[in-house]
Structure formats: structure tokens, C-alpha cells
């Protein structure tokens, strides 16, 4: 049995990770920031932990709850989107909301939990987006979000040498039918998560610091 931590699991992709890993009887810790989210995790048999990823103090409390654990797999899923393109001034509040959730939260999760992943020689995946790719980008649609996911990718790749016993990857889930992805997305959440689970199960040390698609394809450019 593996021990898994899912950060940002109240709904969408994160909750589906909990559902699928619990379906295989894995031991799953999962975080949400409010009671309804925590209940949904509990109903799936996950051990629920309260965490708002924009609250730096919250990480210390969760780290304390996990003291002594070895994590075979941790997944940072929490994320938010913002509308707007490079033709409009970014609203500072929106900028802060997106960057604090998608980048600062991920960096805090990395420093807080990567040692527990190293203890198991495990894997730490960060859910990024193809919208964060710089190579070949053709539009500024979702400008702040794009910048946040590009920053997340750098945070993950650059941290890899500091955590030599863990495999850190950034992984794109595809365009997925969730509250964030919207009803027009081609992938169902079950499909995306099932494919990412396969990809994560197949990670080896040669994937350290990689940027991957949900289907396991490795991006050649960031």
C-alpha cells in the first residue's frame, strides 16, 4: 500500500485523484480549505486535512499532522484561473490571488512536504498547464494564469537538485471538464486522472525535473 498526499482535493481533478487511489485501497491524505470539501474527501475514505494554500501558517499545521510519514507520492493540484489578456491592465488583486495559489502555494508545499517524499524515495507531481508553455505560445489569453504556470514550472525544475532523493515533475492534465476547464473540454476528469496515474506510476529517476503531458509524453520545450 502506498501513502499519498493530494493538496487541493475538494473537487475536480484533486477529488478524482482521491476517488481513484482510494478505489485501489491506497492510504490517502488529502487537503481542502472548507468543510464541504473536507466532507467529500472523508466520504471517499481519505484522511482529510484543512489547508488554504494561500495561508503560509496552514502548511506548518499540516506538516505537523504528517510528522513521521513517508510519502510515496504527493500531488499539488490546487489552482485558480483568471480571465484577461495582454491588452488589459492586470488587476493587482487578481494577480495576487492567482500567483499566491498557483505559485507561492506550490513552493510552500514543496518545501514543506518534499522531505517526506524523499524519505520514501517518492514522487512529487505539480499540476501545471500547457498554457504555461513559453515555446510556441501564440496568444496571451489567460495572461496571468499563463505566467503563473510558467513560474510554477520553473519552481519545480529548479528545486529538483535540492531534493535529490525525490522525483519532482510538472504535469499537464490536458483540457478537462471541471469547474475550471468548463463544459466544452474534451477530456472527462476520470480519463485525465486515470492517464496521469499511469504516467506517475511509470516515473523513474530519468524523469527528475521533467515537464510531462498527462499521457506520459515529455515536452521537449518549456
Ligand X SMILES: NC(=O)c1ccc[n+]([C@@H]2O[C@H](COP(=O)([O-])OP(=O)(O)OC[C@H]3O[C@@H](n4cnc5c(N)ncnc54)[C@H](OP(=O)(O)O)[C@@H]3O)[C@@H](O)[C@H]2O)c1
User: Under the rule (CB under 6 A), what is the footprint of ligand X?
Assistant: 8, 10-14, 32-34, 37, 52-54, 77-80, 101, 127, 129, 173, 175-176, 178-181, 185
Nearest distance from C-beta of residue 174 to ligand X, angstroms: 7
Q: Which residue(s) pair with 109 in the sheet?
A: none
Chain position whose Cβ is nearest to ligand X? 79
Q: Could you tell me how many residues make up the chain?
A: 222
Q: Which is nearer to ligand X, 122 or 181 (CB)?
A: 181
Concatenating the DSSP letter of every residue in 4-57 gives EEEES-SSHHHHHHHHHHHHTT-EEEEEESSHHHHHHHHHTT-EEEE--TT-HH
Nearest distance from C-beta of residue 6 to ligand X, angstroms: 9
Q: Which is nearer to ligand X, 68 or 135 (CB)?
A: 135
Q: Which is nearer to ligand X, 153 or 178 (CB)?
A: 178
Find the helix or strand (DSSP H, E) in which 181 lies.
none
Question: Whole-angstrom Cα distance, residue 27 to residue 57?
Answer: 25
Q: Which is nearer to ligand X, 13 or 155 (CB)?
A: 13
Nearest distance from C-beta of residue 121 to ligand X, angstroms: 25
Nearest distance from C-beta of residue 105 to ligand X, angstroms: 7
Concatenating the DSSP letter of every residue in 68-103 gives T---SEEEE---------TTSPPPHHHHHHHHIIII
Q: Which is nearer to ligand X, 42 or 70 (CB)?
A: 42
Q: Which is nearer to ligand X, 161 or 182 (CB)?
A: 182
Q: How many CB atoms lie within 10 A of CB 186?
A: 11
Is 150 in contact with 131 (CB distance < 8 Å)?
no
Nearest distance from C-beta of residue 161 to ligand X, angstroms: 24
Q: How many CB atoms lie within 10 A of CB 20?
A: 18
Amino acid at each position: 500500500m502506498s501513502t499519498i498526499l493530494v493538496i487541493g482535493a475538494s473537487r475536480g481533478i484533486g477529488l478524482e485523484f482521491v476517488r481513484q487511489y482510494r478505489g485501489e485501497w491506497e492510504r490517502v491524505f488529502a487537503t481542502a480549505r472548507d468543510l464541504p470539501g473536507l466532507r467529500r474527501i472523508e466520504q471517499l475514505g481519505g484522511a482529510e486535512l484543512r489547508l488554504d494554500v494561500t495561508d503560509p501558517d496552514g502548511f506548518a499545521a499540516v506538516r505537523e499532522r504528517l510528522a513521521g510519514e513517508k510519502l510515496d507520492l504527493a500531488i499539488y493540484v490546487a489552482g485558480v484561473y483568471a480571465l484577461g489578456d495582454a491588452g488589459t491592465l492586470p488587476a493587482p488583486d487578481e494577480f495576487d490571488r492567482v500567483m499566491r495559489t498557483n505559485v507561492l502555494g506550490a513552493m510552500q508545499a514543496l518545501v514543506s512536504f518534499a522531505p517526506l517524499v524523499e524519505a520514501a524515495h517518492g514522487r512529487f507531481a505539480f499540476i501545471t498547464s500547457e498554457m504555461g508553455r513559453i515555446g510556441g505560445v501564440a496568444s496571451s489569453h489567460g495572461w496571468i494564469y499563463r505566467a503563473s504556470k510558467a513560474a510554477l514550472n520553473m519552481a519545480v525544475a529548479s528545486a529538483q537538485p535540492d531534493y535529490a532523493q525525490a522525483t519532482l515533475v510538472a504535469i499537464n492534465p490536458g483540457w478537462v471538464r471541471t469547474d475550471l476547464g468548463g463544459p466544452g473540454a474534451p477530456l472527462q476528469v476520470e480519463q485525465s486522472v486515470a492517464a496521469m496515474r499511469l504516467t506517475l506510476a511509470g516515473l523513474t529517476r530519468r524523469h527528475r525535473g521533467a515537464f510531462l503531458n498527462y499521457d506520459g509524453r515529455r515536452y521537449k520545450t518549456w
